[in-house]
Structure 1
Amino acid sequence: MGTVGDAANKDTNGSLAEKKPTVVFVLGGPGSGKGTQCANIVQHFGFTHLSAGDLLRAEQKSGSENGTMIQNMIKEGKIVPSEVTIKLLQKAMEESGNDKFLIDGFPRNEENRAAFETVTQIEPAFVLFFDCSEEEMERRLLSRNEGREDDNIETIRKRFKVFLESSLPVIQHYESRGKVRKIDAGRPIEEVFESVKAIFTPKNEKAE
């Protein structure tokens, strides 16, 4: 972990921040439809979709030293350090060759948010917040139950609680800076995407 590593980190941070990528944080409770809408945004607007959870899972499967450490932390119910997740996000951003990113399910809390800006020197363009009632999210999760063992009612309610307690401060922080684009996610997929499109379409194209 010596100074050589630190110097290398500075290099990658510099190059990524210098490219001035467009980063959009995508937040919403479990079942708010984030994944579906992210897929639509990728298709229509050429963004690269990065899910913090997927990157952590892929790293665990890779069998790397980092992966084993992540696995053990998750097993013990601990939260993976922000730096670890951020490094995975950075690496994925650099390897994608793109300059427009949807970062999904991150930052999960205020500490994540501060660390992301410090480590990457990148501030998000805005936060896309899928606002959906707890009843509706519950209904969706229970009806989709794709064999995910975490889709039972107790676990779902726990996940809502964690989302509210940890993510709301992040949303409030960006709200105070005028950077939150809130979407009513309780509507049908097509309607929600119309609202999403309006946010991502450059102003000059809207007049056409």
Structure 2
Amino acid sequence: MGTVVDAAIKVANGSAHTNKKVTVVFVLGGPGSGKGTQCSNIVEHFGYTHLSAGDLLRAEIKSGSENGTMIQNMIKEGKIVPSEVTIKLLQRAIQENGNDKFLIDGFPRNEENRAAFESVTGIEPEFVLFFDCPEEEMEKRLLSRNQGREDDNIETIRKRFKVYMESSLPVIDYYKAKGKVRKIDAARPIEEVFKAVKAVFTPESEKVAA
């Protein structure tokens, strides 16, 4: 779909490069906006590989590494993990995967993330899929999902909303100015949201006039 971006992906040791042509779509939206659910649908229908920045960070925490302990402490505080940590995890995931189409979910979280990602990887997103959802609805969803996640309590949720509002919206504004934002009303039922998502991912040539 659209143009394919040339990406110079640095390998973990930083000494060699692998030239890999990839299409990247950034998936942004507040905590509880339904990004994960919709990413699963996109993977199933359009063949993308879903990379969740949050899942990669949680996997690093579970690994018990020193990096993981630092990440855990920052998440508890509702702070943003340093760009280089997340970018390294994303690079490794892209590099080790055989696919060439990726959804990057929950990243970039701020302008510094965005600039560092484009600078380090050479990748500019095809577009940004933005799930727009009112804070009250997101809070309700997070409190009811009860997945046993340590960061799903009311105090931390409100910290995460504050961080999201202050940090992520400038990223959305940046890509909006470049005509790369596809905004989805995420407060609607899952099926209706995916209908709107499908319209974004279906190439014009494949859309049949009603």
In the alignment, the residues of structure 1 paired with residue 105 and residue 61 of structure 2 have an alpha-carbon distance, to the nearest angstrom, of 18
Which residue does 2:14 correspond to in 1?
9
The DSSP-based 3-state class of the residue aligned with 2:187 is coil
Does the aligned pair in 1 maintain the 2:54–2:106 contact within 8 Å? Answer: yes
- Where in structure 2 are there 5+ consecutive unaligned residues? 1-9
Q: Which stretch has the larger CA shift, 152-161 or 174-183? A: 152-161
Which residue pairs with 2:26 in the alignment?
25
CA contact (8 A) 2:60 2:67 kept: no
Q: 2 CA distance for matches of 1:73 and 1:163? A: 17
Per the normalisation by structure 2, the TM-score is: 0.86
Q: Which residue of structure 2 aligns with residue 169 of structure 1? A: 170
Q: Please state which structure has a larger fraction of its residues in helix.
A: 1
* Corresponding residue of 1:69: 67
> Equivalences for 1:126-137 in 2 at 5 Å?
126-137=127-138
Question: Mean Cα displacement is larger for which, 73-82 or 28-37?
Answer: 73-82
Looking at secondary structure, tell me which structure has more strand per residue. Answer: 2
Distance 1:96 1:193, change over 3 A: same
Letter in 1 for 2:70: N
The residue identity in structure 2 corresponding to 1:15 is: N
Equivalenced residues, count: 197
Aligned to 1:194: 195
Deviations 1:3-46 (A, max 9, x none): xx99x63632x513xx1x11000011111000000000000000
TM-superposition CA deviations, 1:43-63 (whole Å, max 9, x none): 000000001121122223334
In 1, Cα distance between equivalents of 2:174 and 2:35? 20
Which segment drifts farther, 101-110 or 73-82? 73-82
> Quick check: 1:90 aligned with 2:88?
no
Identity %: 74
Letter of the aligned partner of 1:74 in structure 2? Q
What SS does the aligned partner of 2:103 have? strand
In 1: Cα distance, 2:35 partner to 2:112 partner: 22
RMSD value, Cα: 2.1
- 1:59 and 1:157 map into 2 onto residues whose CA distance is 24
Give per-residue Cα distances to partners, 1:82-130, cap 9 Å, x unaligned: 1221111111111111000000010011000000000000100011000
Which whole-Å deviations, capped at 9, do the CAs of 1:127-176 have from their partners, x for residues lacking one?
10000001111121122222334323222222111111110010000000
| 1:63-95 deviation per Cα after TM superposition (whole angstroms, max 9, x unaligned) | 4xxx31241353265643212211111111111
**Alignment CA distance shift 1:150-1:193 (3 Å):** same
Indicate how the Cα distance of structure 1 residues 156 and 79 shifts in structure 2: closer, same or farther if over 3 A, else same.
Answer: closer
- Superposition TM-score, scaled by structure 1 size: 0.87
* Whole-angstrom distance in 2 between the partners of 1:150 and 1:74: 10
Shift of the 182–153 alpha-carbon distance from structure 1 to 2, 3 Å rule, reads same
More divergent stretch after superposition (159-168 vs 137-146): 137-146
Judging changes above 3 Å, is the alpha-carbon distance between structure 1 residues 54 and 132 closer, same or farther for their aligned structure 2 residues?
same
Which blocks of at least 5 consecutive residues in structure 1 are unaligned? none
In structure 2, the partner of 1:140 is 141
Task: Give the corresponding residue for 1:204.
Answer: 205
